Each structure stands twice: as structure tokens, then as C-alpha cells.
Structure 1
Amino acid sequence: MNNVPLCVVTLVSLCNCLQFPSSFKKCDKRRNDFNECLSDVVYDSLKVLDKPLPGFPSLRCIEFPPDAMMEIGNRTYGLWQKYTKFRVTGLSNPQSIKTRLDFGPVTSTLTIEASYSELTWESELEAQGTVVLLPLNVITPGELIMYNPTLSFTIKLEEYEKGATYFRVIDSEFDMKSADRLKIEFKQLFPNRRLNDEFNSALSEKGLQTFELFKHLQVAFAPHFGSVFNNFLEKVPVVELFDE
């Protein structure tokens, strides 16, 4: 699966055309409650996409493409780490959604903040070097569980004409803003099971501090969110999205 979350509306693909379901709620840009309406649409759309729809995958479990990767450290003086094969579970089950769309004369900005009770990120770690003085050369599955996290998606849009007015994505940002606590588990980091479990436990105790040190690496996900938004927007005229 090469898709990442699309958090604007729920679509059904029929006859190679994008069509809105009959239950789709269209928000009026002229109303003061436009952003509240849009927040409801995004929330309902995520809930619906807990299961796949024709032409659109489920958001329950999302796999990222191979170029979504993180690489840190070095083999000579520490520990080289490469994280790939990312997958996130739980995006279709938000606790709350806050959406804002600011229209501008040249560019518009869509911001979505999504809060969850729990999200699980999985990846594969390839590591070479030393932990303290212990040599390490391993490939292992890893898991990061976030408790009560808030995710932020920021999409910059511009309008263009193609027989009608459309939006296209010109920039995208992604931020895992906060969480109450984290649980980190590398499945096979050390062959000694007890050492592996105790290392994971100690790492999880410092999970939030560790996360802040490497949080800047999350920019690897932003282009893929922007790409999926763009794939949708190039097929649907602006007039089909909102009441003017």
C-alpha cells in the first residue's frame, strides 16, 4: 500500500470517477461555523474509513512507501540507525478533530489537529555500532505506542484553472505535537531476552525525552501526506467541496 492518510472527505470511486457519498456534508464558506462544520466532516470521514471503501483503503492501518525513512548516528563513534518500513495503526479512530481552512488571495492553508487515545507506529530498525561498549549489528522490528497523542497536518494550497477551479498542494507539514507517554519496544535488539526486555523498559521510561531528541526526523512523513492530498484535490473541483 503506497497511500497515507487523507483527512478531508470520504470518497467512493466508481467508473474511474470520484463521487461523494449521499451522506457527505457540504460546508458553507460564508457561515461563521465553517471550520466547525469542516471538523465534523473530517471526523466522520475518518470513522467511516476504519474499513475500506471501493477505490479507497482503510485508514485503520497505513503503510508508508519505501522512501519514508530515518537515518541517524554513525558506526565509528556510536550507533548507526536506519528506520524503514513504517506503518501506523489507529488513525481511523480519533477522539477529536479540529480543522481550520484559511483562504487567501494566493495561497490557502488547511490545518488539521487530530487527538487520539492511542496510536501504534511500527518500523524496521537496522543498527550497527555500539551500545555503551556492547557491539551491535542487527535488523529488528520496532514498535512505538503513543498514549493520548495529538497530530497536526498543515497543507498549503493554491488554486489553478483546468476547465474549473481546483486546489493543488504546494507544501505540507506534519507534527506529532504531544503525548502523555510512550512505550518503545525493539523485538530482537539483543539475543538475550532478559536484556532485550530490560533495555526496552528503561528506554520507555525515558520515552518522552528520547522522542524530543529525534522529533525533527518526523519531516520524512510530510511529503507523503501532501502527495495524497494532492492526488485527491486534482480530481475534485473546489465548487464540489464547499458552498460559496
Structure 2
Amino acid sequence: MSWLEMLAVFGAGIAAGGINTVVGSGTLITFPVLLAFGLSPVTANVSNTIGLVPGSVSGAIGYRRELAGQRERLLKLGTASLLGGITGAILLLILPADAFKAIVPVLIILALVLVVVQPRLAAWVKKRREQDTGPAPRHGGPILFAAVYATGIYGGYFGAAQGVLLIGLLGVFVHEDIQRLNGVKNVLALIVNGVSAVIFIAIAEVDWVVVALIAVGSIIGGQLGATVGRKLSPTVLRGVIVVVGTIAVIRLLTS
């Protein structure tokens, strides 16, 4: 990998760390970059997942004020994310590489759709919460637990836009301030990425240069996302994600 390529991966890590903290689609930035530089899809996904873990930690720390008083919720939903992440990571490793190459374009397209409709989803969630004044399970109940588990499977297998899924689910099932839910989302995504990374380190082929570059970049991005990221135009962020994600789909289908 040349110095320019290393710089590009580092920059993608910064962007992904910030976007993951604010929106939750950072993989759609880093994954296409790694593909463009010749990594196989599975190795790119594995290395990317490991590299983004420090950024997830950084983003979660940045939202520590919003996490105050949510320990019980994090323990319950975190268990679902942990089990889902383990399941998804194992599926990635036991299914043939060709299966990953065939499935991921579909997952990326799904992720892009979620990113595009995210404003409408957020508006719907807000409207539903304003209209629903009846009692609700404090932490979302068994339906949310199952949905978070399923999202964890998706996150452990590939993970792009799992944050969008999580914030949508939390907004529907938990009556809580959206910024506090965003803090929960960051922790749940961290759990999925973290447990997947542990499994990948033990079993899978990892490009450690890529991991280091994305890790350092995502730490910086995570802090930026937690501080100034909220001031950036969501439309611009979504536009960048859609363009880069489309490139990834084309790259996978033509390689």
C-alpha cells in the first residue's frame, strides 16, 4: 500500500468515525475505499470492523452525558446486541466468500435506502411518540430485544447503517429523548463491532496496517462526531454516503 493509499484509508477512518457517531453508516465510507485498493471483500470487511472499534469507543465516550441513568437499559439491550454480533460474525466466517460477495451488494443497497429515508423515519418516530401517551415497557419489551438481536446479526455480518436501524427501533419502542437514545445506539453498535472484532482477530485473515489506519482515524472522527458533527448538514452527510455506497455496489458487482 502506497503512502497516498494509506492517507486515503486514514481519512476514510476519520470520516467513518464521525459519521458512525452521528448517523451510523461509516462502513459505507471505509469499505469501498478498501475494495478500491485491492483487498478482498471479506478481508476488507473484517479489517474494517476491527479498525472501527476504537472509533466506536470514542463516540460512546463522547455521548457519556446522555448515557447517565441508562445502565439497566444498556445491560438488557446490550445482551441482545452481544448475542446478535456473535451470530453475525460466525455467519460471515462459515459462509463461503462467494456468498458474502453476493449478499453484501443487497445489504449495501438496503443500507443506502435506510440512509435516504432516515429523515422520514425520524419524523415518523417523533410523530408516533407525540401521539402515543399510553404506558410502554420501560426498555422496549421483548419485541425490541428481538429486533436489536436481529440488527446485531446484520451488524456482525456486515454492519453498514446498523446505527440507522438501531436509532429507528429505539425511537419507536422507547419513550426517551432522542439524544439519549443516540448514546444508547452508539454503545449497542460498539458491542456488536467489539464482539465481532474479537472473533475476527482469533479466526479470520486481518490486514493490520488497514486496522491501524482506520483505528486512529476513527478515534479522531468519533470525537469530532460527538462535538461538531451535530452541526453538519445531514443532507450533505447522506449525499456522501449514498455516492460512496453506490460506488461500492458497482465495485462488488463488476469485480
TM-score of the superposition, structure 2-length normalised? Answer: 0.27
The structure where strand makes up a greater share of residues is 1
Radius of gyration: which is bigger? Answer: 1
Richer in helix (by share): 2
Q: Please report the TM-score for the alignment, with normalisation by the length of structure 1.
A: 0.27
Relative contact order, higher structure (CA 8 A, sep 6+): 2
